[in-house]
Amino acid sequence: MDPSSPITPDLARVQVLSEALPYIQRFAGRTVVIKYGGAAMVQEHLRHAVFRDITLLACVGLRPVMVHGGGPEINTWLTRLAIEPEFHAGLRVTSAETMEVVEMVLVGRVNKQIVNGINHQGGLAVGLSGSDGQLVQARPYDNGSIGLVGEVERVNPGLLMPLLEQGYIPVISSVAADPSGVSHNINADIVAGEVAAALHAEKLILLTDTPGILRQPGVAGTLLEHLTIGEARALMAAGVVSGGMVPKTECCIRALAQGVCSAHILDGRVSHALLQEIFTDAGIGTMISG
């Protein structure tokens, strides 16, 4: 072929596949834990892109695990039931009445929408909550000062391993019970990080509504593409990482400290961000490594 010939769409696809090959070979059989939320969960075309990406990851030999929340959907149902959503330091204040709605929405509605979406693309998704098989055991957050909000006490990876070995895609809602059987609402980022650590995952990926960690928050073109744990901690101490990015960054650091190979904060508003990060040389978003 003449090197000066224009690149046709078909040739571009072949080049993308060629670039992806070494990454497919490298990550085959490895576990990737993906926290799904934000715009990627709300906008229909982004939802379909994520479901296709997850299915493709499984088809080429990776072992994807999804963890999700569902804040906007919860707010919609609370409003319908005349319950005022309330937050404290970014966490949902969760009364017993609110917890019933959270569990109904996350476990009974959002989880099954995701499972059905992946299965429609040809994947083999299985819906779970943290309570199923004691996958996640909760403990009260801050001694229960904001209601039934939990933290992760422990994760039981033994429930997930047989599913992954048989090619199934676990989809986990961030609801779990404490030792007395009381359900708690847990931040999905935290659940994803702890699940990744328990599975010794190759990657933890957080889909967000930001490009990643920015050197100058809110300023385009200041994306920090790669950080070490030490650099990420320094940015938090300096206030560069602030607001909602703090718990996400802390979640990544904690997962890395427990053996996860790399953690990624990606812009879920970009179609096929997962594939761009995993299967291309340039990647997308911020990667933090140990």
Structure letter (DSSP) for residue 51: H
The Cα–Cα gap between 277 and 287 comes to 9
Q: Are 284 and 277 in contact (CB under 8 A)?
A: yes
Q: Is 92 annotated as a binding residue?
A: yes
* Residue ranges with strand state E in the chain: 31-36, 63-68, 87-88, 91-92, 125-129, 136-140, 149-155, 169-173, 175-177, 183-186, 203-208, 226-228, 262-267, 286-289
Question: Which residue has tokens 């499984």?
Answer: 58
Structure tokens at 175: 């609801």
Residue with token string 């497919």: 24
DSSP string of 87-153, one letter each residue? EETTEE-B-HHHHHHHHHHIIIIIHHHHHHHHHHTT--EEEEETTGGGSEEEEEGGGGTTBSEEEEE
Amino acid sitting at position 281: D
The CA-CA-CA angle for residues 217, 205, 244, to 5°, reads: 35
Report the amino acid identity of residue 44.
E
Q: Per the annotation, does 239 bind a ligand?
A: no
The DSSP symbol for 225 reads -
Which residues participate in the annotated binding site? 70-71, 92, 185
Which residues participate in the annotated binding site for substrate? 70-71, 92, 185
